Structure 1
Amino acid sequence: MTLPQVRSLSDSSATPPVSGKMTRQQFKELLKSIYSEGEGGINRHKLREGLRKHGIECSTWRSWRAMRHADINRNKYIDGDEEVEELIKKGKQQRQRREYSLGMDM
């Protein structure tokens, strides 16, 4: 299955929801589309809204946990490459846990 390409920041139209697994690059592009220059980064509310806008379920609790894990400098924003990488790691861990728990139900 091929995932739709996430549009760049310059494209103001809505991005279609994604399904299936994303590549690292696709997730980085998704984060770029969420990034808010005026605020200096991505806060947990923008993260949650942006992921949901792109068809990815993200509860308030999960967005808080992801930010807690990835926000290395504790300024309440994802605002650097290192923090983006931490956010990607956290997302992978969550996906693996979900896949494991789904397998246990069967």
Structure 2
Amino acid sequence: MGTSDVLSGMEWLGSEERTNYPLTLSVEDSGEALGLTAQVVEPISADRVCGYMQQVLEQLAEALEHAPIGRCAPRHPAGRRAQLSAGGSEPDGGGLSVGAVHP
């Protein structure tokens, strides 16, 4: 029995993504442009969230054009670096922060 035989008489009705988070923001990269999709609960407006994020991304792109930064790398307090070098770790991330490292 082929796949077409099994599916005959069936109709695709659609699908919907679900989440327990009150706000989800996705960024799609088509290679030529970025797209924003927001899933929100009322009274938050998905259009407003996407508008805020678009404004932030535009300002970030403009700032990077005028003052490019180096690569991003984790920054650890000096004592934490020594602990990590010795093979220590913490399940909660140990206060790791990410920041820009300027060349």
Structure-1-length-normalised TM-score: 0.31
Q: Which has the higher helix share?
A: 1
> Which protein, 1 or 2, shows the higher relative CO under an 8 Å CA cutoff with sep ≥ 6?
1
Max Rg structure? 2
Structure-2-length-normalised TM-score: 0.31
Q: Which has the higher strand share?
A: 2
